[in-house]
């Protein structure tokens, strides 16, 4: 997500960093580029105008011109403004623990409400909730089937009634949820246009009946200039409490995300990435700002690692690192842990400076599996002492793993250089070395 915008910002910053002294004209020129980049990213026109005016004013007022590192200062101003534009600090969703919590999702057709309902339910189930999905989309053909299927696959109950109106389904569904002791009800509604008065009245009545704790507006990340107007209309009718931006795994430039908060003052809460039910992430304005500006997102990377890495395992590995007794078997285990963290391209994009270098280049997700296969085709002894792997053994391993001898050679060489890197790292013992080692573990 945001790759193209990131690229644009990086080149703008590069230009301005390259200058030892920055003049007002430099800033004006950079701001013209920023404006262009944002417009091409579908950021709302009015928001762009305000943003560029704010940044220019701050940049000129913040003694950037006399600073020793004017380029850096400029980047900082842009970063601060961008993070502020997207909502500053994230707002945490707090649900009641002693009663049923109610969430309503609304939005235009095709924005991804039904899928997001399932994702939300799953997200909150992971936090200990007992969710119920209520299917109030009686308009779109097969919408109820879709929610039913999703619910079944996630083992989350779905309340539906094909013979009733959305309002009746909603009432009965909530009564059912109360009765059965669910802690969270997620209500799916039909997609509707904000200018469709009848449909908006229906939604309004539904919200009045449901009295939701959270009302989320589901918006498509690819939406154009009108996205903010649509959000505004929905907000007027049903008082939104948050926005969920879907399809963020596309190559859209997500400009709508940057605009909605600024125009209607409702925070972006979640972003949808991918069609799988677990593809829902909390939205952090500051992290997103640094991702957009090509500064990576180390915080999220570390969190992801903590979520997926086994602490015990990691400690053991670290010990082996230090003693340089790191074997191919350990390497294999580490690979498997990395694989658990999700698609490589996502991970790499979080490392500062890597994101833009990789854009366009396809990260070969299968490379990890191939390495796994190669190591799995080795005997325990070979994994411990790779030195004994001669030509004959290489041929056998390549046959066993469906790779070529060249692949095996490459792997062994990489492993070798990794080990020598570790030795050096132990000597230096600095954070810098660890970073380099971390990078060297991704064999690309």
Partner 1 sequence: MNILDRLKDGLKKTRTQIASALSGASGSFDDRFYDALEDALILADIGLETSTDLIARLKSEIAGRGITTPAAAYAALKTLLAGDLAVTKLPDEFPPKPWVILVVGVNGVGKTTTIGKLAGEFGAAGKKVMLGAADTFRAGAVEQLKIWAQRTKADFVFQQDGADPASVAFDAMEASKARGIDVLILDTAGRLQNKTNLMNELSKIVRVIKRNLPQAPNEVLLVVDATTGQNALNQARVFNEIIGVTGFVITKLDGTSKGGIAVALSKNFGIPVRKIGVGEGVDDLQNFDPVSYVDALLGDLPDRV
Q: Where do contacts with partner 1 occur on this chain (CB under 8 A)?
A: 36, 39-42, 45, 108-112, 139-150, 153, 193-196, 220, 222-227, 229-230, 247, 249-253, 255-256, 275, 362
Please say which residue, 41 or 328, places its beta carbon nearer to partner 1: 41
CB of 251 vs partner 1, minimal distance in Å:
4
Shortest distance, position 253 Cβ to partner 1, whole Å: 7
CB of 358 to partner 1, least distance (A): 13
| Beta carbon nearer to partner 1, 139 or 410 | 139
Pseudo-torsion of CA 304, 309, 315, 317, nearest 10°? -110
* Closest separation in Å from C-beta 281 to partner 1: 16
Longest dimension (CA), the chain: 76
Which residue, 286, 246, 254, 345, is CA-closest to 8? 254
Cβ atoms of 12 and 261 within 8 Å: the answer is no
Q: Which is nearer to partner 1, 116 or 327 (CB)?
A: 116
Q: What is the 3-state secondary structure (H, E, C) of 10-39?
A: HHHHHHHHCCCCCCHHHHHHHHHHHHHHHH
Other residues' Cβ atoms within 10 Å of the Cβ of residue 89: 11
Task: Write the CA distances from 268 to 6, 215, 249, 272, 306, integer angstroms.
Answer: 20, 12, 16, 11, 25
Nearer to partner 1, 141 or 311 (CB): 141
Q: Is the four-CA dihedral 378, 382, 383, 387 of positive or negative sign?
A: negative
Question: Smallest gap, in angstroms, from Cβ of residue 344 to partner 1?
Answer: 13
137/297 with CB nearer partner 1: 137
Q: Which of 297, 275, 426, 282 is nearest to 355 (CA)?
A: 297
- Nearer to partner 1 among residue 213 and residue 220 (C-beta): 220
Contact, 317 vs 328, CB < 8 A? no
| Closer to partner 1 by Cβ: residue 253 or 287 | 253
Nearest approach, Cβ of 71 to partner 1 (angstroms)? 26
The token duo for 308 is 């997926």
Give the residue with the Cβ less far from partner 1, 107 or 212: 107
Q: What is the smallest separation between the CB atom of 159 and partner 1, expressed in angstroms?
A: 16
Cα separation, 31 vs 354, in Å, equals: 25
DSSP letter assigned to residue 129: -
Minimum distance, C-beta of residue 355 to partner 1, in the bound complex (Å): 14
Which residue matches tokens 């507006």?
Answer: 217
């Amino acid at each position: 997500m945001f790759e193209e915008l990131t690229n644009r910002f990086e080149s703008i910053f590069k230009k301005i960093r390259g200058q030892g002294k920055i003049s007002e004209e430099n800033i004006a020129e950079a701001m013209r580029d920023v404006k262009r980049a944002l417009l091409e990213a579908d950021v709302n026109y009015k928001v762009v105008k305000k943003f560029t005016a704010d940044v220019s004013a701050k940049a000129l007022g913040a003694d950037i011109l006399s600073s020793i590192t004017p380029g850096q200062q400029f980047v900082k101003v842009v970063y601060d403004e961008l993070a502020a534009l997207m909502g500053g600090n994230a707002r945490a969703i707090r649900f009641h623990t002693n009663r049923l919590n109610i969430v309503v999702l609304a939005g235009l057709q095709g924005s991804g409400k039904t899928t997001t309902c399932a994702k939300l339910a799953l997200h909150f189930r992971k936090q200990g909730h007992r969710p119920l999905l209520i299917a109030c989309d009686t308009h779109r053909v097969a919408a109820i089937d879709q929610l039913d299927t999703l619910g079944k696959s996630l083992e989350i109950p779905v309340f539906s009634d094909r013979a009733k109106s959305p309002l009746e389904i909603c009432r009965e569904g909530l009564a059912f949820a109360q009765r059965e002791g669910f802690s969270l009800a997620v209500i799916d509604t039909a997609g509707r246009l904000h200018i469709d008065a009848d449909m908006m009245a229906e939604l309004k009545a539904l919200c009045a009946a449901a009295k939701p704790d959270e009302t989320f507006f589901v918006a498509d990340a690819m939406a154009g200039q009108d996205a903010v107007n649509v959000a505004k209309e929905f907000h007027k009718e049903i008082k939104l409490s948050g926005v969920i931006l879907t399809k963020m795994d596309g190559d859209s430039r997500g400009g709508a995300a940057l605009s909605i908060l600024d125009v209607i003052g409702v925070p972006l809460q979640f972003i949808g990435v991918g069609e799988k039910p677990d593809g829902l992430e909390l939205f952090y304005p500051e992290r997103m700002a640094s991702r957009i500006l090509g500064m990576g997102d180390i915080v999220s990377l570390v969190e992801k690692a903590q979520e997926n890495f086994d602490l015990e395992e990691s400690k053991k590995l670290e010990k082996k690192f230090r003693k340089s007794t790191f074997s191919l078997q350990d390497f294999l285990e580490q690979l498997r842990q990395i694989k658990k963290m999700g698609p490589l391209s996502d991970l790499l994009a979080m490392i500062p400076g890597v994101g833009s270098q990789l854009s366009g280049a396809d990260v070969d997700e299968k490379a990890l599996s191939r390495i796994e296969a190669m190591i799995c085709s080795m005997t325990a002894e070979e994994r411990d002492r790779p030195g004994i792997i001669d030509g004959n053994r290489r041929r056998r391993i390549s046959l066993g793993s469906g790779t070529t001898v060249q692949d095996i050679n490459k792997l062994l060489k990489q492993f070798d250089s990794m080990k020598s890197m570790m030795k050096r790292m132990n000597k230096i013992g600095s954070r810098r070395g660890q970073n380099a080692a971390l990078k060297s573990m991704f064999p690309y």
